[in-house]
Amino acid sequence: MAEAVGDIVSVQGEGEGELAGFFDLVAIGDFMSLHLAGREGVDPGPVPVLTEIKERLRAAGEA
């Protein structure tokens, strides 16, 4: 992978217990995706596939 990317960074979650560490990593991943999207000029807001899933779930709940 080092041939295809500029840098590889290892990140470890912090917190008391595995679940806290997991959610710490989720928060870091969310922050990084927003940061990278902003840097590249991409709107990180609407995600078409998630919108479609939500619509299908809503329709299934109404049936």
Residue boundaries of the structural domains of the chain = 18-62
pLDDT number for residue 3:
79
Mean pLDDT score of the chain: 90
pLDDT tier for residue 55 given thresholds of 50, 70 and 90: very high
Enter the tokens of residue 60.
């299934």
pLDDT tier for residue 1 given thresholds of 50, 70 and 90: low
Does residue 56 surpass a pLDDT of 80?
yes
Range 42-46 average pLDDT: 85
Cβ density class 20-46: b for 16+ within 10 Å, e for less: eeeeeeeeeeeeeeeeeeeeeeeeeee
pLDDT tier for residue 5 given thresholds of 50, 70 and 90: confident
